[in-house]
């Protein structure tokens, strides 16, 4: 499948993020290790879905950084720590400030309610390491 | 509670939206009618929550229009037509283009899956009327 | 399956509720009509589930009225209007006051967030008719 | 995107289903009407997602009829009437019996709880028309 | 924001709970540590939300202990272990009996289905330590 | 409660599964340990629910293996790792092939979206051990 949109310009590499934050490193390492099983399985539909998932966050009508924060809000509302970590890291890599990340999390907190708080707490721990 | 952030500048009034789209008018009229019962009840905590909800979408570190689209993505992922209608309308009132709205909905579709499609279909009907 | 707990004492019959509120009547009539298909189907597991569902709200260690309000909070958080209507009506039938119902809804609003608001609005419409 | 798997053999056409059941006809007509807006919009990512969605239910390692019933269970658990209607109809078109559909719904009822019941009631109404 | 309602009278302090149960101690310690990052961030909207959250469980028209159990049911239905732990502990601190907690969990089990069971199992482990 | 349907014929015992996969062993051991508290509590409604849950997956109009995979899809869509592990193991014990399990997971991925991916990754790790 061809791409729709262009690759965003990252301010930081994944490696730089992993060096800065132990929480990010642990998350990224686990994700890489688990994705190896998925890659080996070489499932047609999973590969297509991963491709589509990649396409959804490219630079397009909306800047990539806002789409990453939309992914962040969706992840927080649906309460998935892995997804939330991922989008916090991607937003950071695209130059999003901490104040911007907190406002995005606030939208998720208001829409999703106090059930979001345990995830907010863990996200703030990651934010604290990334923006130290 | 004081405000944190400033009121956004709307390109269109609610009245203009209601004149342009029958779907929007029906949604806004029903919402107004039902909110009257809530207003009459004058419940302390509900009023505080409404106030906080208002605060979450003001101009701040993030432009209001992106926060409305974050609300849109959250609403679509959590599959609430009323909330989705509301944020589509608010985004339109803040000058968001149709292409931008579609990309925001795409993030929700990828994160939330095919269960989002019936809501996407109804959102596209509203988009079609608003951007006619 | 035998019962565990005792039947609660209702202050109002379903018929009295239906006479007082048009919204309640419409809900109860639709529910009765649809349940006829379920009854006719006579599915073993569905019948057992309905029986268990009935048992969960009997007078026991907790008074039935608080269990109905717990069902109300769960229904509002999981955002099911039919379930919410049902537990608002059951709570009303057990003598719960409007102030008590509003506080229960507030717990759901805080836990579940603004996505609960459209359901809260419709619940307030029903409360307004029931407690007129 | 190429297909992965083969098209299933339907016992009934959509037209036959629509002639047999008023509920199915209303659902299918609304779906067709709303999909027209989506088709006109011609959004790259939405088209790709629809294509992938189609692929997921083809004959493959698993017979299509069981995948439709898996979609049915997912729809009931996630409580989407439109999706549930769709998979009940597709299962019917593939020759699934009423007893099989009821057992699939039972899995959803047990996994998803009483919050599924309002959707089960409406599904039984559709089943009653389809299998009359 | 002023309070609406009065602080409940706890039978046990958090410290007593932490001394009685290792699971409770681990949960409370982690929560305290993570909340420190949130407190330091001093985010306007988060502070307001925490305040509102506190207000929702005060003694009011409904006794605080029933509101804690409503929070427990909501947490179990929405399947958040942290929230569930919190409300089990708060209910215990307010003198709720084990039999009452089990009945509240039963409402969540019936409404939310078997997907609640893994959380029920972990809640029972905490109950076993608290009521030893 | 009597049974409705017959016990399925397992190809592998739980013990054999635990010997083959460390992940399965850890899951099964934890589940057994936690269930002991639930068994000791001897709660009327919980026992009835467990019984009903058992009934839902027996051989009936639908073969047990397809019902286990329906439970798998529901668990993945509702994003419960414990439930997903359980149904992957049960499906394996009933002779389901890896290709069949992957197709079932694909239905969940399409219906539930990218929020399912972290659970898919962990499920693939378990599949890799089971089908080694």
DSSP states along A44-103:
HHHHHHHHHHHHTTSBSSS-HHHHHHHHHHHHHHTT-HHHHHHHHHHHHHTT--HHHHHH
* C-alpha separations of D49 from A58, B110, B118, D52 in Å: 16, 8, 13, 5
Q: What is the DSSP string of D46-62?
A: HHHHHHHHHHHTSBSSS
Contact E115 F38 (CB under 8 A): no
Residue spans of chain F under pLDDT 50: none
Answer whether C33's CB lies under 8 Å from D93's CB. no
Q: What are phi and psi of C6, to 5 degrees?
A: -120, 155
Contacts by residues B44-51 (CB-CB < 8 Å, ≥ 24 positions apart): B44/E4, B44/E55, B45/C106, B45/C109, B45/C110, B45/E4, B45/E52, B45/E55, B45/E56, B46/C102, B46/C106, B46/C109, B46/C120, B48/B1, B48/E1, B48/E48, B48/E52, B48/E55, B49/C109, B49/C110, B49/C114, B49/E52, B51/B1
Share of chain C above pLDDT 70, in %: 98
Rounded CA separation E38/E20 (Å): 27
Residue E129's Cβ-count burial label (10 Å; 0-12, 13-18, 19+) is middle
Contact B117 D78 (CB under 8 A): no
- Of the candidates E62, E78, E104, the beta carbon closest to that of C104 is on E62
Interface of C with F in 32-71 (CB under 8 A): 44-45, 48-49, 52, 55-56
Helix, strand, coil percentages for chain F (3-state, nearest 5) = 75, 0, 25
Which residues have CB under 8 Å from E120's CB, separation 6+? E76, E105, E108, E109, F38, F46
pLDDT number for residue A4? 77
Answer whether F10's CB lies under 8 Å from E70's CB. no
Evaluate if residue D96 carries a pLDDT over 60.
yes
Torsion from C-alpha of F30, F31, F33, F39, nearest 10 degrees:
170
Residue among E117, D79, D78, D66 nearest F70 (CA): D66
Rounded CA separation B112/B131 (Å): 25
Across chain D, mean pLDDT equals 97
Query: Please, what sign has the CA dihedral across residues B32, B38, B44, B49?
Result: negative
Rounded CA separation F9/A129 (Å): 52
Residue A114's Cβ-count burial label (10 Å; 0-12, 13-18, 19+) is buried
Angle at C77 between CA C73 and CA C80, to 5 degrees: 95
* C-alpha separations of C19 from B34, E85, F50, F78 in Å: 22, 43, 40, 39
Q: Which two tokens stand for residue D93?
A: 């078109």
Query: What mean pLDDT comes out for the span C36-54?
Result: 97
Query: What mean pLDDT comes out for the span C98-127?
Result: 98
Contact A53 B110 (CB under 8 A): yes
Residue among A87, A94, A90 nearest A72 (CA): A87
Across chain C, mean pLDDT equals 97
pLDDT tens, position by position, A18-41: 999 999 999 999 999 999 999 999
Report CA B132 to chain centroid distance, whole Å. 19
Compare all CA atoms of chain B with the CA of F114 and give the residue at the minimum distance.
B111
Across chain E, mean pLDDT equals 97
Answer whether C108's CB lies under 8 Å from C116's CB. yes
pLDDT number for residue A2? 62
Contact E1 B1 (CB under 8 A): yes
Report CA A25 to chain centroid distance, whole Å. 13
Contact B55 E48 (CB under 8 A): yes
Rounded CA separation F129/F123 (Å): 10
pLDDT tens, position by position, A57-109: 999 999 999 999 999 999 999 999 999 999 999 999 999 999 999 999 999 99
| SS3 assignment, position B11 | coil
Evaluate if residue B2 carries a pLDDT over 70.
no
Return the residue in B31, B32, B49, B54 with the most chain C beta carbons within 10 A, the one to mutate for interface testing: B49
Residue carrying structure tokens 């934050």:
A21
Evaluate if residue D88 carries a pLDDT over 80.
yes
Which residues have CB under 8 Å from D12's CB, separation 6+? D92, D93
pLDDT tens, position by position, E55-104: 999 999 999 999 999 999 999 999 999 999 999 999 999 999 999 999 99
pLDDT category of residue C51 using cuts at 50, 70 and 90:
very high
Contact D69 F62 (CB under 8 A): yes
pLDDT number for residue E4? 77
pLDDT category of residue C4 using cuts at 50, 70 and 90:
confident
Rg (CA), chain E: 15
Residue among B70, D35, D66, E124 nearest A65 (CA): B70
pLDDT number for residue C45? 97
Q: How far is E82 from chain F (nearest CA, A)?
A: 15
Report the run of H or E that residue F92 belongs to, with start and end.
Answer: helix F81-93
pLDDT number for residue D2? 61
Answer whether D51's CB lies under 8 Å from D92's CB. no
Evaluate if residue E128 carries a pLDDT over 70.
yes
Query: What mean pLDDT comes out for the span B109-128?
Result: 98
pLDDT number for residue E124? 98
pLDDT number for residue F4? 77
Contact C112 A115 (CB under 8 A): yes
A120 touches E at CB < 8 Å? yes
* C-alpha separations of D30 from B121, D90, D121, D124 in Å: 10, 16, 21, 20
Share of chain B above pLDDT 90, in %: 96
Residue among E37, E53, A88, E61 nearest B52 (CA): E53
pLDDT tens, position by position, C65-93: 999 999 999 999 999 999 999 999 999 99
Torsion from C-alpha of E37, E39, E44, E45, nearest 10 degrees:
70
- Chains with 3+ CB–CB pairs under 8 A to F are A, B, C, D, E
Q: Please state whether A113 falls in left (phi above 0), alpha (psi between -120 and 50) or beta.
A: left
pLDDT category of residue E2 using cuts at 50, 70 and 90:
low
Evaluate if residue B81 carries a pLDDT over 60.
yes
Q: Which two tokens stand for residue C94?
A: 């057990």
pLDDT number for residue F2? 63
pLDDT number for residue A86? 98
pLDDT number for residue B22? 98
Chain A residues with CB inside 8 Å of E34's CB?
121-122, 124-125
pLDDT number for residue C63? 98
| SS3 assignment, position A6 | strand
Evaluate if residue C6 carries a pLDDT over 90.
yes
Answer whether D112's CB lies under 8 Å from F83's CB. no
Q: How far is F49 from chain D (nearest CA, A)?
A: 9
């Amino acid at each position: 499948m061809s791409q729709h949109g262009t690759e965003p310009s990252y301010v930081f590499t994944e490696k730089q993020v992993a060096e800065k934050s132990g929480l990010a490193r642990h998350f990224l390492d686990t994700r890489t290790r688990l994705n190896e099983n998925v890659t080996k399985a070489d499932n047609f539909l999973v590969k297509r879905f991963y491709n589509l998932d990649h396409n959804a966050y490219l630079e397009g009508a909306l800047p990539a950084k806002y789409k990453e924060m939309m992914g962040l809000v969706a992840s927080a509302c649906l309460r998935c720590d892995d997804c939330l970590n991922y989008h916090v890291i991607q937003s950071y890599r695209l130059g999003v400030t901490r104040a911007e990340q907190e406002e995005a999390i606030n939208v998720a907190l208001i829409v999703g309610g106090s059930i979001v708080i345990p995830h907010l707490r863990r996200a703030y721990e990651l934010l604290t390491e990334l923006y130290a």
